[in-house]
């Protein structure tokens, strides 16, 4: 690795550090596929310019955390921290979308509650030592 490459890498690290104000963890539990929409709030005056870019991207259409990180060319963890700030300000909201919309022509093929319960029981039986995680998003 050349000295120029190391300098570029150091500059990126410092920029990310200042972007998140030294924070290394988001306040909200966000999965990579958490989908976000624009909310009614506004970010604070001291927010990074990337926050405005996130809002502009989500204004076009709903975006996942991963997509935002790719569009901004920033590390996912840094984007999660910024998204957490925007969620706190209610400038972003987590979208809860239905896989089976009301106007879905295959509505009869929706899984029943009984089927989902049986699936959960079967998974618990097959993987009794699995660690339960809080649902992200």
User: Two tokens at 82?
Assistant: 């910024």
pLDDT at position 59, please?
Answer: 94
Contact between 94 and 34 under an 8 Å Cβ cutoff? The reply is yes
> What's the predicted TM-score (pTM) here?
0.62
pLDDT 10s digits, 29-56 = 899 989 999 999 988 777 778 889 999 9
The full length of the chain comes to 137
Helix (H, G, I), strand (E, B) or coil at 21: coil
Instruction: Confirm if 29 and 133 have CB atoms less than 8 A apart.
Output: no
Tens of pLDDT, residue by residue over 67-117, are 999 999 998 999 999 999 999 999 999 987 655 555 555 556 667 788 878
DSSP of 59-115: HHS-EEHHHHHHHHT--HHHHHHHHHHHHHTTSEEE----SS-TT-TTGGGSPPHHH
């Amino acid at each position: 690795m050349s000295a120029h490459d190391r300098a570029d890498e150091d500059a990126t690290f410092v920029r990310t550090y200042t972007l998140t104000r030294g924070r290394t963890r988001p306040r909200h539990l966000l999965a990579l596929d958490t989908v976000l929409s624009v909310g009614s709030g506004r970010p604070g005056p001291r927010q990074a310019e990337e926050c405005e870019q996130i809002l502009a991207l989500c204004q076009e259409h709903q975006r996942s955390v991963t997509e935002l990180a790719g569009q901004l060319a920033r590390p996912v963890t840094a984007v999660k921290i910024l998204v957490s700030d925007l969620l706190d300000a209610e400038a972003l909201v987590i979208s809860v979308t239905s896989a089976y919309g009301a106007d879905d022509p295959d509505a009869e093929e929706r899984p029943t509650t009984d089927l989902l319960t049986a699936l959960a029981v079967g998974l618990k039986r097959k993987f009794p030592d699995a660690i339960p995680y809080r649902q992200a998003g």
